[in-house]
Chains A and B, each alone.
Chain A
Amino acid sequence: MSGRVVVIGVGNPLRGDDGVGPAAVEALRGRVPDGTVLAVSDGEPARVLELWRGADTVVVAEALRARPARPGRVHTLTAAEAASRAKGAASTHAFGLGECLALAEALDRLPPRLVVHAVEVADMELGARMSEAVRSALPELIDRIAASVRQAHERDDGG
């Protein structure tokens, strides 16, 4: 059995572009190798830490705000990059991913490998639809997640 790979889409599907992470995860159902766990989360750190417990590779799909903004741009970040980006309130969630990562580090619960794919968002009003810019970016986000998942399994199979 290969090491556990966990994909977490963080966000709220009722808040327009904030739902991009969960939307990518839903799109991947049935399209990932066995041994891949697909999950959605509101980003609450205790739950996120629980989701990646025992995982060898964690792939996070997120929404982020950036200045200057280019909605729809997809970023791929390492854990360290995500932690430093999140300090500037880059995440859209009450607890940032940065706080999750810092808490995990303090408790020695960082997964061995973690990668974050995040889309720059435009509209996160409650009840809003996903913006055109973010909807257009969804296929690229899904591709990047799928590639990360594939690599993780290949690495496990090879090692």
Chain B
Amino acid sequence: MNRRATRVLRLDALARVEGEAALHLRVEGDRVTQTRLRIYEPPRFFEAFLAGRGHAEPPDITARICGICPVAYQMSACRAIEDACGAVVDGPLADLRRLLYCGEWIESHTLHVYLLHAPDFLGCADVVELARGRRAAVERGLRLKQTGNAILEQLGGRPIHPVNVRIGGFYRTPAPDELRPLAERLRQARDDALETVRWVAAFDFPDAVCDHDLFALRDPGRYAIDSGTPAVMAADGDGPALREFPPSDFERHVREGQVPHSTALTALLDGRRHLTGPLARYAISGRWLHPLAAEAARDAGLGDPATGARCDNPFRSIVVRAVEVVQAVEESLRIIGGYERPPRPAVEVPPRRGVGFGATEAPRGLLYHRYALTADGTVTEARIVPPTAQNQTAIEDDVRRAVQARLDRAGPAADDEELTRLCERAIRNHDPCISCAAHFLDLTVERA
């Protein structure tokens, strides 16, 4: 066995994984013996920050956890508080929330597809190099992303940390006329979204298979975004095909535990490794995609979502994200087409003593909030479980598999630089959140 002195490799220029994350990889000879991803988690800070606040405050405060997915935090917070207070938001108010959420999906997914992920497949160091060589593609991405941004501005009041969202609904709702220019823009964005699917579907994908249990909300009849029941699809042939539990049982199922190849405590679902996000949503909700999105998925080689096709190659997650952008554009147009201004911008949410639970589909996956309130609405406890924290174990497993496959082919001679690039790609497949995961990824490769 080729033994080398322990080498430590540190990288601090991996801005394309948006986060303060660190990966520790231990390679003994030609075996990967340990993979440990450390993800920085702002939610812990925010949980403490929320205690003692009023029940109307969590949507505004938690929106600041993430600059890329503030709506997801707002929506999970609203649902949890409304659940605690026994309030129901439905009809056009729920539609407007879903529209706002679609804007965030368009923006966040397009950011990841074009600015972060696509350069991996085209041999570019970053989006700047991509823009120099394929300017039209990057222009298309920016245009599409800007459409999502326009929805956030129109409904949220501003593009980052939307200020128009409140428990019970909104501070102000738009008149149907105000949404008309948005519809015009979305119709143009539809072409860009479809072109995006075709563009990414033609990339070269490394062979890879993941066998994580898949976890996403299920909202029969439509592709789950802002509501639904947590559902688990077992890895092929492993246990019941699909099981569900109410959001109030989330913490009984998703718990910290230990898995092979890692000494760290990480989130597990009923003791097993699970994945949340686009691949899980596509498997669980694919049959409810709009016809145009389903057709795009079929043409892109993702199988037929109508018959429950799933995508098990994490590198192809970029294609699923692109399909979800088509879905979000179509869903936005459907909502705007049927929109009538609700009689009031928000329903009353009078405080009461209790505990409430909320789960919605952030672009990166299922985002869970729980709040305990006193009779006057004071928050006594907050719990936030973001998708990136849940995906940690699955990402580690993907990294281990990718590196092991490379070592199996190249032997211990595979150099650190190449392994590093491979690790980055395996992590990027799951789009770790900008602040759930912030600035630099430090990678350590230890050779024993």
User: Which A residues have a C-beta under 8 Å from some C-beta of B?
Assistant: 12, 14, 40-42, 44-47, 49-50, 89, 92-96, 99, 102-103, 106-107, 126-127
Contact = CB atoms under 8 A, between A and B. Distances in A.
A44 B128 contact: no
Given A107-B138, A127-B49, A102 B128 contact: yes
A99 B127 CA distance: 9
A93 B141 CA distance: 21
A46 B111 contact: yes
Contact of B126 (A12, A99, A126): A99
A46 B138 CA distance: 10
Contacts of B18: 94
Contact of A14 (B64, B146, B149, B160): B64
Contacts of A94: 15, 18-19, 434, 438-439
B interface residue count range (under 10 / 10 to 19 / 20 to 34 / 35 or more): 20 to 34
B67 A42 contact: yes
B36 to A, nearest CB: 22
B346 interface: no
B159 interface: yes
B13 interface: yes
A103 B131 contact: yes
B160 A103 contact: no
A50 B131 contact: no
Given A47-B160, A94-B438, 4 more contacts: A44-B111, A46-B111, A46-B115, A89-B12
> Which of A41, A50, A94, A107 gathers the greatest number of chain B CB atoms within 10 Å?
A94
B145 A46 contact: yes
Contacts of B141: 46
Contact of B15 (A40, A49, A50, A95): A95
Given A99-B15, A106-B132, A106-B135, A45 B439 contact: no
A107 B440 contact: no
A50 B144 CA distance: 12
Given A44-B67, A49-B142, A93-B439, A103 B128 contact: yes
A124 to B, nearest CB: 9
Contacts of A126: 42, 45
B77 interface: no
Interface in B324-370: none
Contacts of B142: 46, 49-50, 107
Contacts of B67: 12, 42, 44
Nearest 8 pairs of A and B residues by beta carbon:
A42-B67, A106-B131, A102-B128, A94-B18, A106-B132, A126-B45, A103-B128, A46-B145
A13 B68 CA distance: 16
17 contacts: A44-B68, A45-B115, A45-B127, A46-B111, A47-B149, A49-B142, A94-B18, A94-B19, A94-B434, A96-B15, A99-B15, A99-B127, A103-B128, A103-B131, A107-B131, A107-B139, A127-B49
Contacts of B42: 126
> Which of A41, A47, A96 gathers the greatest number of chain B CB atoms within 10 Å?
A47
A44 B152 CA distance: 15
B13 A41 contact: no
A108 to B, nearest CB: 9
A93 B139 CA distance: 23
A150 B75 CA distance: 42
B146 A50 contact: yes
A96 B13 CA distance: 10
B146 A127 contact: no
Contacts of B439: 92-94
Interface string B11-26: 0110100110000000
A14 B60 CA distance: 13
Interface string B391-411: 000000000000000000000
Interface in B249-293: none
A127 B45 contact: yes
Nearest to B114: A46
Contacts of B68: 44
A47 B142 CA distance: 9
A52 to B, nearest CB: 13
Contacts of B13: 89
Nearest to B139: A107
Nearest to A103: B128
A42 B435 CA distance: 11
B132 A41 contact: no
A14 B440 CA distance: 18
Contacts of B15: 94-96, 99
A12 B291 CA distance: 41
Nearest to B144: A46
A40 B160 CA distance: 9
Contacts of A47: 149, 159-160
Nearest to A127: B45
Interface string B110-132: 01000100000000001110011
Given A42-B160, A45-B115, A103 B64 contact: no
B193 to A, nearest CB: 16
A17 B142 CA distance: 30
B108 to A, nearest CB: 10
A45 B142 CA distance: 10
Nearest to A40: B160
